[in-house]
Structure 1
Amino acid sequence: MKIAVIGAGWAGLAAAQRATETGHAVTVFEMASQAGGRARELQIEGLALDNGQHILIGAYRETLALMRRLGVDVDAAFDRRPLELRYPDGRGLRLPPGPAALVFGLGVLRARGWNLRDKLALLRAAAGWALAGFRCAPGTSVDTLCRGLPPAVRELMIDPLCVAALNTPAEQADAGVLLRVLKDALFGGAGGADLLLPRRSLGALLPAPATAWLQARGADLRLGTRVQQLQPAGGSGWLVDGVAFDAVVLACSAAEAARLALPFAQAWATQAQALRYEPIVTVYLQAPGARLAAPMMALVEGPAAPAQFAFDHGAMGATPGVFAFVVSGAQAWVERGLEATSAAVMAQATQAFPAGTWPQAPTLLRCVAEKRATFRCVPGLERPPSAIAPGLSAAGDYVAGPYPATLEGAVRAGLAAADEAALAGGAGRNG
């Protein structure tokens, strides 16, 4: 079969790999000049960094499996360590290695910054979530779900985990989606909550290996090519700018997929167009000779303190002296402007860490804003399904599924869409 994949982000590359591996002739169309989508490599002052600091967790099993199929040495590519939410003042939670439920209990009991009442309250809440099958009433916000938890637990664990996983503030975030993330990460098996901190740029982790793998197997990659029109072909299949394909995977953005699908799938396109987005800002700082106490550190967010996490690239095994400060749920800061956000992060960096952390004041490398980083994962959100029409599937972190907008969600959607398109396209040919 001839399969077209429109979009070469992580979902599109996953779809193209799966379709190629199962014996189909694949053509990939990507409007940008490079693959990777919203998780791609940038060149900043001669350094291979990313358009936003990303991490993986151990529960991202499909993403890790895809990397291995592409020839990536996952063990060498990541600094893998147990989940740790460590703050500059020493407070925080660290999970020891071992069986999931046991290590969560031990980690909570050993956490610093919570009194015994705080710890028992969190353990009771977690036990209740587990007994309920990590489900809650539809339309419940994270703020409502966690209303009975002590402020210290909210500040040091729930709120930062929520904004990191869903890129949506707790008072506006879907509790059901967060519970699914917690189930798979904290209670889904040993190592599911492990942090995988990349030692290489995102481009080196998946887009570059994927494009090399696809080209070596005869796939046609057309970068810098925006598809103008998608039409049903007579009988079966689809025309992509007039060229016939048996099946098509729309792995571009929701807005671009809606544009292409609108003439023949208005209901689907309207649902995709209705999604609203939340930005993420990454502020890269340079401070030669500086080192944080851990490769990834949590920060207390505040009116003048935008970032929730800081990453030490040198401690991760990448470039020493480079630091990434991440502002998730960043709409208010984007509205203030990137210059103001950068200044606030630089002030936060010097104030949040102990004296002596910075041998010299950090300087700004680049402030990178991904203004449509993820859809806003609000309660009751109805996401568009992957199936659009026979032989036409959507792939992306925004399609209906159990996960928020994550790399794992994108990869899973790409794999599923490739399988759906191949089945539907094959049925059309046989019919």
Structure 2
Amino acid sequence: MSRVAIVGGGWAGIAAAVALADAGHDITVFEMAPQLGGRARSVAGEPPYDNGQHILIGAYRDSLALMARLGVDASRVLKRLPLALPYPGEPGLRLPPGSPLIAFTRGVLAHRGWPWSARLGLLMAAGGWLARGFRCDASLSVADLCAGLPAAVKRDLVEPLCVAALNTPAPQANAQVFLRVLKDALFSGPGSADLLLPRRALSELLAGPATVWLGERLRLATRVQRIEPGWRVDGEAFDAVVLACTSVEAARLTAELAPAWSATAGALGFEPIITVYLSSPGSALASPMLALREGPDAPAQFVFDHGALGGAPGRFAFVVSGAAAWVERGGCAEAVLAQARREIDWATPPVIDKVLTEKRATFACTPGLQRATGRIAPGLWAAGDYIAGPYPATLEGAVRAGLAAAQGVGADAGAGTGAKGAASGSPTNTP
């Protein structure tokens, strides 16, 4: 049995901690915030607000398995809906149940808002992606990949899916990662494309149950200052360390231990997300989630009806992903309010309730991006949604990175290559 320190208590850290504890290791989790959850957390309110409108999809099997391991009944905390992208007053694309390939084809053909040429154009493009194994040149952006698609398809499907999954606008987004998301969501099995929308405050999905499960193994409000070879965490001896903190913190802690790895992690750019909560007592959306058409004076791409999801009636979360330009302009709350008034019918005039801005919500998922490897040195691993892999910065990507780090620690322990010092660590290109 090894003594392992996990630095960071977001979804990656929780995944690593649970896997290591289940494997019989003695774990300690250090989290600088007063609560677990990382960026996927709730903030004070009555009921609490979520720090961004996080959603899962049916393909997120590792996240769902982790929730189940901690005693969370996904059917109670998540509302499962077939994939649909309705717009205000428009049904949009809807996928029926059944085999993914057949469901996608039927859904596209049934989309009355697109001309036949647009529907056939999308099916032909998707067939080409399928034939090529959902792979493309690593230098392509999503806009490059989809340049030949009809304008309506790009506007109503590609661009909103891209910014929702990668939090990066299509002209700057990594096409290879986008294709992997499409493959897993649309073609990996029945229900994989289903939307799983939180029915409870975000912290109740994982952070709260994990806090109880970890118990005395958890040290909250504790920022690790230094890691030394051996491995010593602020002077305390461990056999191995998992850095499940942000890329910025991980780069700081490894600057002397593994300069090359630190430089790669520290070089990542970021994309912000702004969530504007509006209040309109007595109002309700036609669906729990609506897509919105983004524009120069229309920042939000999606809106969620919390009342329809079992939360506060009359509370609506407008999500502005890839929000760098709006952050530079000082925010977008008034622009979102004007957009909401133009596009949605309200029972009572909506007002701004709360604005949450996460300036480092995700890494900017750009073509040819170099992401740091999970293994830094024998006995020293990194876990987080920024680690090299096929997924963008998603909850599932974080959980998978945590599980991979736990497996790596176990392999190091079995090979007897634990606390032996540091190596340089090298970057890896995303597939």
For normalisation by structure 2, the TM-score amounts to 0.95
Name 2:79's counterpart in structure 1.
Answer: 79
Q: Deviations over 1:181-222 (max 9, x none)?
A: 00000001110100001000110000010111111xxx5211
Find 2:235's aligned residue among 239, 242, 247: 242
Distance 1:162 1:168 in 2: 7
Aligned to 1:88: 88
**Root-mean-square deviation (CA), in Å?**
1.1
Counterpart CA distance in 2 for 1:401 and 1:428 is 24
The aligned residue for residue 172 of structure 1 is 172
Counterpart in 2 of 1:366? 354
Give the aligned partner of residue 56 of structure 2. 56
SS of 1:315 mapped into structure 2: helix
**Deviation of residue 317 (structure 1)?**
2.2
Post-superposition offset of 1:36: 0.7
* Distance (whole Å) between structure 1 residues aligned to residue 419 and residue 378 of structure 2: 13
Pairs within 5 Å for 1:122-161: 122-161=122-161
Q: Which residue of 2 aligns with 1:297?
A: 290
User: Which amino acid letter does the alignment assign opposite residue 355 of structure 2?
Assistant: C
**Kept in 1: contact 2:229–2:419 (CA 8 A):** no
Q: What amino acid does structure 2 have at the position aligned with 1:41? A: S
- How do 1:247-258 and structure 2 match up within 5 A? 247-258=240-251
Q: Note the alpha carbon deviations across 1:298-333, whole angstroms, 9 max, x for none.
A: 000000000000000111222211100000000011
Is the alpha carbon distance of 1:326 and 1:429 closer, same or farther for their aligned partners in structure 2, counting shifts above 3 Å?
Answer: closer
Residue number among 295, 315, 320 corresponding to 1:322 in the alignment = 315
Query: Is the CA contact (8 Å cut-off) linking 2:378 and 2:419 kept in structure 1?
Result: no
Paired letter, 1:27:
T
Aligned partner of 1:228 in structure 2 is 225
Is the CA contact 1:285–1:322 (under 8 Å) kept in the aligned structure 2?
Answer: yes
- Counterpart of 1:272 in structure 2 is 265
Aligned residues of 1:393 and 1:421 also touching (Cα < 8 A)? yes
Q: Distance in 2 between matches of 1:68 and 1:333?
A: 38
Match in the other structure for 2:417: 428
The reply on whether 1:311 has 2:308 as its aligned counterpart is: no
* Residue 331 of structure 1 pairs with residue 332 of structure 2: no
Partner of 2:423: none
State the percentage of identical aligned residues.
60
Take 1:31 and 1:75, find their aligned partners in 2: how far apart are those partners?
31
Is it true that 1:418 corresponds to 2:406 in the alignment? yes
2:343 maps to which of 352, 358, 361: 352
Checking the alignment, whether the CA contact within 8 Å between 1:20 and 1:214 is kept in structure 2 is no
Listed as ranges, the gaps of 5+ residues in structure 2 are 421-431
Superposed displacement of residue 335, structure 1: 1.1
Contact 2:306 2:313 (8 Å CA) reproduced? yes
C-alpha distance in structure 2 between counterparts of 1:108 and 1:429, whole Å: 52
Which residue in the other structure is 2:381 paired with? 393
State how far apart, in whole Å, the 1-side matches of 2:75 and 2:371 are. 34
Following TM superposition, where does structure 1 have runs of at least 4 consecutive aligned residues deviating by more than 2 angstroms? 428-431
Mapped to 2, the partners of 1:91 and 1:335 lie a distance apart of 34
State the alpha-carbon separation in 2 of the partners of residues 414 and 212 from structure 1.
19
Query: In the aligned structure 2, how far is the partner of 1:429 from the partner of 1:61?
Result: 30
One-letter amino acid of the structure 2 residue matched with residue 351 of structure 1:
R
Question: Following the alignment from structure 2 to structure 1, what is the Cα–Cα distance between the partners of residues 114 and 160?
Answer: 16
Q: Hey, what's the Cα distance between the residues in 1 that align with 2:83 and 2:310?
A: 18
How far residue 425 of structure 1 moved from its aligned partner, in angstroms, is 3.5
* Amino acid of the structure 1 residue aligned with 2:138: P
Change (3 A) 1:429 1:118: closer
Does residue 1:99 correspond to 2:99, yes or no? yes
- Aligned AA (2:86): R
For residues 410 and 277 of structure 2, the distance between their equivalents in structure 1, rounded to whole angstroms, comes to 42
Contact 1:174–1:377 at 8 Å: present in 2 too? Answer: yes
Matched residue type, 1:304: D
Distance 1:273 1:430, change over 3 A: closer
Q: Distance in 1 between matches of 2:327 and 2:123?
A: 36
Structure 1 counterpart of 2:427: none
State the Cα distance separating 1:387 from its structure 2 match: 0.3
Instruction: Write the distance in 2 (CA, Å) between the matches of 1:113 and 1:245.
Output: 59
Cα contact 1:141–1:175 (8 A) shared by 2: yes
Conserved in 2, the CA contact under 8 Å of 1:391 and 1:422? no
Amino acid at match of 1:367: V
Provide the rounded CA distance (Å) in 2 between the counterparts of 1:11 and 1:294: 31
Amino acid at match of 1:221: L
Aligned counterparts of 1:295 and 1:110: Cα–Cα separation in 2: 21
Summarize the Cα distance change of 1:429–1:306 in structure 2 as closer, same or farther, 3 Å threshold: closer
Unaligned runs of 5+ in 1: none
Q: TM-score, normalised by structure 1?
A: 0.95
In structure 1, the partner of 2:25 is 24
For 2:28, give the aligned amino acid: T
Shift of 1:430: 11
Q: Give the secondary-structure state (helix, strand or coil) at the position aligned to 2:308.
A: coil
Q: Deviations over 1:397-425 (max 9, x none)?
A: 00000000000000010111011122213
Once residues 199 and 337 of structure 1 are traced to their aligned partners in structure 2, the CA distance between those partners, rounded to angstroms, is 31
